[in-house]
Amino acid sequence: MTDELEPLAPSEGIQSFLAHREPSVRKSTLQNARHRLGVFREWCESEDIDNLNELDGRLLSDFVASRRGEIAPITLQKQLTSVRQFLRWAADIEAVTDGLAEKVHAPELPDGAEARDEHLPADRAEDILDYLGTHHYASRDHALFALMWRTGMRRSAVRSLDVSDLRPDEHAVRVEHRPETGTKLKNGEDGERWVFLGPRWYSILDDYLDNPDRYEVTDDEGRTPLFTSKYGRPTGDTIYKWTHRLTRPCVVGGCPHDDKDPSTCPAASGNDGAARLCPSSRGPHDVRRGAITAHLNDEVPPEAVSGRCDVSLSVLYRHYDVRTDREKMEVRKQQLNQ
- The pLDDT value recorded for residue 115 is 44
Going along the chain from its start, the domains and CATH numbers come out as 10-103 (1.10.150.130)
Nearest in space to 153 (alpha carbons), one of 118, 186, 114: 186
Buried b (16+ CB within 10 A) or exposed e, 188-200: eeebebebebeee
Spatial separation of the C-alpha atoms in residues 164 and 152, rounded to whole Å: 20
Whether the Cβ atoms of residue 182 and residue 220 lie closer than 8 Å to each other: yes
Cα(204)–Cα(130) distance, integer angstroms? 13
Strands (E) located in 169-302: 172-175, 193-196
- Rounded to whole angstroms, how far apart are CA atoms 268 and 261? 9
For the stretch 227-235, contacts whose Cβ atoms lie closer than 8 Å and that sit 24 or more positions apart, written own/partner, are: 227/140, 227/143, 227/144, 227/158, 227/159, 227/161, 228/140, 233/159, 233/182, 233/183, 234/159, 235/102, 235/105, 235/159
Distance CA 299, CA 239 (A): 29
3-state helix, strand, coil in the chain (%, to 5): 55, 5, 40
Enter the DSSP assignment of 232.
Answer: B
**DSSP class per residue in 76-127:** HHHHHHHHHHHHHHHHHTTSS-TTGGGG-PPPPPPTT-S-TT----HHHHHH
pLDDT given at position 1: 44
Closest CA to 72 of 113, 117, 119, 115: 113
Cα 322 from Cα 300, distance rounded (Å): 15
pLDDT value, residue 275: 72
pLDDT in tens, the chain (338 residues): 445 889 999 999 999 999 998 888 778 788 889 999 999 999 999 999 999 999 999 999 999 988 887 777 777 888 898 999 999 999 999 999 998 998 888 766 555 555 445 789 999 999 999 999 999 999 999 999 999 999 999 999 999 999 999 999 999 999 999 999 999 998 899 999 999 999 999 999 999 999 999 999 999 999 999 999 988 999 888 898 899 899 998 888 878 876 677 778 878 877 666 676 787 888 898 999 999 999 998 889 999 999 999 998 888 887 788 888 888 888 888 777 75
How many other C-beta atoms lie within 10 A of the C-beta of residue 23?
7
Q: Do residues 289 and 322 make contact, with C-beta atoms less than 8 angstroms apart?
A: yes
pTM of the model: 0.67
